[in-house]
Amino acid sequence: MTILEPQGPGVPTPRPSQFSAPYWEGCARGELRFTRCRSCGASLADAPRVCHRCWSTDLVWQVSGGRGTVYSWTVVWRPQTPAFVVPYVPAIIELAEGFHLLSAVIGCRVDEVREGLEVAAEFHPCGDDQFLPYFRPDDGQ
């Protein structure tokens, strides 16, 4: 069975907003950034303007170590568009810092993806000067 790989050209590329630009700038530098609420301490994905837990707007950017575990996943056989190579595995990754990130698992077979699989972030080019985080099984190195 094939080893899952990052998608190639032609897939939708992120269009950063003024709020998410720091996240995508981090990806281009090989940093997985997330938002920390300075009021309640929650770690948050997707560049929110308000803390999901306590509604504080006192949020700061921090850099994640990029390590986490697979929380949920699906094996897609019918792609969003023909630009996607199947199968691919969208997944929710639970990062060590506590936040959940939607991404995709690569570097293993579809039948090797399981709950709790330890994974680490890596960044692959996606469109003009943009990089997308994917997660690969982590051998602890």
Interface pick for other proteins out of 10, 12, 30, 41 (rule CB under 8 A) = 12
User: Within 13 Å and on the Cβ side, how many CA atoms surround 117?
Assistant: 25
Q: From 90, 65, 83, 70, select the one nearest 13 (Cα to Cα).
A: 83
Q: How many residues does the chain have?
A: 141
Closer of 13 and 39 to other proteins (Cβ)? 13
Q: Is 18 in the site for other proteins (CB under 8 A)?
A: no
21, 125 Cβ separation under 8 angstroms: no
The Cα–Cα gap between 124 and 130 comes to 8
Closer of 73 and 120 to other proteins (Cβ)? 73
Interface pick for other proteins out of 22, 75, 118, 137 (rule CB under 8 A) = 75
Interface pick for other proteins out of 22, 90, 125, 137 (rule CB under 8 A) = 90
Q: Is 32 in the site for other proteins (CB under 8 A)?
A: no
Q: From 1, 134, 4, 8, select the one nearest 82 (Cα to Cα).
A: 8
Contact residues: other proteins, CB under 8 A: 7, 11-17, 20, 24, 45-46, 52-53, 55, 71-82, 84, 88, 90-92, 100-104, 115, 126, 132
